[in-house]
């Protein structure tokens, strides 16, 4: 499997996390959440038709950013670990993106995993 696919799977897990919180990452036309950092370490290969799980949790959340920690596993074997950081930005038409505080209605739905120091 091409390495870039791992990031797609992490993004799908992120969207599922938002849906679980009753939100959509694209649900607010006033703000957006572009990626500002991604990283992935590959521990074992995945091959065509392998079945695996993607686990995602919020490692840190502050006024403007959310950082996720992710793990991909196959049969309890760690395949890859990674992080993804998003930032809240204004998305006015014809205006440049500008970092802004995560709206309270969104921030209230999320919190960092207890004891997470990643």
**Torsion over CA: 30, 35, 20, 8 (sign):** positive
- pTM given for the model: 0.88
Question: What confidence tens digit (pLDDT) does each residue in 79-109 have?
Answer: 999 999 999 999 877 788 899 999 999 999 9
- Going along the chain from its start, the domains and CATH numbers come out as 4-107 (3.10.129.10)
Looking at residue 44, its pLDDT comes to: 94
Query: DSSP per residue over 46-59, as a string?
Result: --TT---EEEEEEE
Question: What confidence tens digit (pLDDT) does each residue in 9-33 have?
Answer: 999 999 999 999 999 888 666 899 9
Encoding tokens for residue 71?
A: 């793990």
Q: Are 52 and 46 in contact (CB under 8 A)?
A: yes
* 3 state DSSP class of 22: coil
**Residues of the chain above pLDDT 90, percent:** 71
Residue 71: which residues within 8 A CB-CB, separation 6 or more?
Answer: 54, 55, 78, 80, 81
Looking at residue 67, its pLDDT comes to: 97
Q: How many helices (H) and strands (E) would you count in the chain?
A: 2, 7
């Amino acid at each position: 499997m091409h390495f870039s696919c791992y990031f797609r799977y992490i993004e799908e897990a992120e969207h599922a996390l938002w849906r679980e919180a009753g939100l959509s990452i694209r649900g607010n036309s006033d703000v957006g959440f572009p990626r500002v950092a991604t990283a992935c370490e590959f521990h074992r290969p995945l091959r065509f038709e392998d079945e695996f799980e993607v686990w995602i949790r919020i490692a840190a959340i502050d006024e403007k950013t959310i950082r996720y920690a992710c793990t991909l596993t196959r049969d309890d074997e760690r395949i890859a670990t990674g992080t993804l950081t998003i930032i809240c930005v204004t998305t006015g038409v014809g205006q440049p993106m500008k970092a802004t505080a995560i709206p309270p209605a969104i921030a209230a739905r999320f919190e960092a995993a207890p004891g997470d120091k990643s």
